[in-house]
Amino acid sequence: MSTPIKPGGEYRGDFLEVDAMLDDEERLIRDTVRAFVADRVLPDIADWFAQGTIPVELAKEMGAMGLLGMHLNGYGTAGTNAVSYGLACRELEAGDSGVRSFVSVQGSLAMYPIWAFGSEEQKQRWLPPMASGEIIGCFGLTEADAGSDPEAMKTSARQDGSDWVIDGTKMWITNGGIAGVAIIWAHTENGIRGFIVPTDTPGFSTSDIRYKMSLRASVTSELVLDGVRVPGDAILPDVVGLKGPLSCLNEARLGIVFGSTGAARACYEAALSYSKERVQFGRPIASFQLTQRKLVEMMVKVNQATLLAMHLGRKRDAGTLTAQQVSFGKMVNVRSALEVAREARSVLGANGITLEYPVIRHMNNLESVYTYEGTNEIHILVLGEAITGISAFQ
């Protein structure tokens, strides 16, 4: 208690100076991804969103930097800590949730299960080209009739000699149409198992989902597996049951806990700068009390969410993070990002509905983020069960 509280100074987005907690390495990773987003994403993202595309070349550029599977180690991955992974997700999602989704799916949903549950041969074969972005992966869990309740999936795999034969249809699969390899979760005689399926295997086909209004700069596809035959060594040997896919989702959700704060920050910053320049009734709209309240609420939400993300990230690195704590972060940070986006949208008036500004793009994207990787409601129920000891799922 030696120095007095300072009188204050000029405040930027990081009001609580949360990033002062970062070490040099984490800061450099943050700055590198931020520069990449400024150079490679922001100039074109409105067009990608409008056209419903994401250029596949981005994968190799991100791979060269070390973004893909960065929080794993060995096999060509960068081997950073979890906070760095979170910061990368935050900066990517400040660009667009679609770009962040690409990285989440590649690193946490496609590479992670091979890294965590695969055989040594599987790791050697798949991880290096996935880390470099030469091979894009996808994660097939959800089906049209099995979303929040993945246990209800119909996809099944049966043994035929030494091979496995997989039948079923997966739905809402990010990167599906551009993937070279799919991690497919299927019922077998002894529980749910994961399979590494090259997408050029006969019987495997995809069709992209069109007319999305959200996450447009991201490919979302249906995967059809019609008697897809893979060799015996395509099965992930080291995990049985739903805990396989659920542990992947937990890894990815930490990225969302951070990522959503990036989208929220971008919306808040857009609203702040717009409100200082937009003049109505002879004054900048930032001078109206109602607008200041909106700005303050947004700023507070962004800072709270950022603090929470840092706390959970540090716990992840310390090895003390629980799945329920991840649910806490996913539930509240995405909800609050969506609230910030909607508030920011209103500050921008009519301009807020155009792609000239990032806000409605983030707002629409966040609707997907709210739903995927466990809907908001499912995470509430997880927390409800955690504090009452009573499951309300069924």
Ligand X SMILES: Cc1cc2nc3c(=O)[nH]c(=O)nc-3n(C[C@H](O)[C@H](O)[C@H](O)COP(=O)(O)OP(=O)(O)OC[C@H]3O[C@@H](n4cnc5c(N)ncnc54)[C@H](O)[C@@H]3O)c2cc1C
We find the least distance from the C-beta atom of residue 310 to ligand X, in angstroms, to be 26
CA angle 78, 79, 83 (to 5 degrees): 110
| 8 Å CB contact between 68 and 111 | yes
Residue 393 to residue 251: CA distance in whole angstroms: 22
Give the one entry of another protein, ligand X, none that residue 372 binds, where binding means its C-beta sits below a cut-off of 5 to 8 angstroms depending on kind: ligand X
Residue 200 binding target from ligand X, another protein, none, CB below 5 to 8 Å by type: none
Nearer to ligand X among residue 48 and residue 274 (C-beta): 48
By the 10 Å C-beta count (0-12 exposed, 13-18 middle, 19+ buried), 55 is classed as: exposed
Closest CB to ligand X: residue number: 147
**Residue 185 or 274: which CB sits closer to ligand X?**
185
36 binds, among another protein, ligand X, none (CB under 5 to 8 A by kind): another protein
Part in contact with ligand X (CB under 6 A); list of ranges 256-264, 322-330, 337-345, 377-385: 377-385
Strands 181-188 and 220-230: unpaired
Residue 48 partner contact from another protein, ligand X, none using kind-dependent CB cut-offs of 5 to 8 Å: none
Shortest CB 251 distance to another protein, Å:
17
CA angle 368, 30, 334 (to 5 degrees): 25
**Is residue 365 a contact residue for ligand X (CB under 6 A)?**
no
**Residue 182: both structure tokens together:** 């799919």
Cα separations in angstroms, 109 against 23, 99, 127, 137, 278: 27, 15, 12, 8, 43
Nearer to another protein, 7 or 202 (CB): 7
Distance CA 164, CA 193 (A): 11
Rounded to the nearest 5 percent, the helix, strand and coil shares of the chain are 55, 15, 30
Write down the least CB distance from residue 64 to another protein, Å: 7
Phi, psi (deg, nearest 5) at residue 163: -90, 165
Contacts of ligand X in 220-259 (CB under 6 A) = 220
Q: Does 148 bind ligand X (CB under 6 A)?
A: yes
Residues within the interface to another protein (CB under 8 A): 10, 12, 24-25, 27-29, 31-32, 35-36, 64-67, 70, 78-80, 84
Q: Which residue has the tokens 């609050």?
A: 336
Q: Write the DSSP string, 235-253.
A: B-TT--STHHHHHHHHHHH
The reply to whether 102 sits near ligand X by the rule CB under 6 A is no
Environment class of 320 (CB within 10 Å of its CB; exposed 0-12, middle 13-18, buried 19+): exposed
105 versus 285: smaller Cβ distance to ligand X: 105
Under the binding rule (CB under 6 A), the answer on residue 375 touching ligand X is yes
Question: Does 385 qualify as catalytic in the annotation?
Answer: no
Instruction: Name which of residues 169 to 208 contact ligand X (CB under 6 A).
Output: 172-174
CB 9, CB 17: distance < 8 Å: no
* H/E run at residue 293: helix 289-318
Residue span binding ligand X (CB under 6 A) among the ranges 49-57, 264-272, 315-323, 365-373: 365-373
Q: Cβ closer to another protein: 58 or 223?
A: 58
Q: Which does 67 bind (CB under 5 to 8 A by kind): another protein, ligand X, none?
A: another protein
- Site residues (vs ligand X, CB under 6 A): 105, 139-142, 147-148, 172-174, 215, 220, 368, 371-372, 375, 377-378, 381, 393
| Residues annotated as catalytic (active site), given as ranges | 373
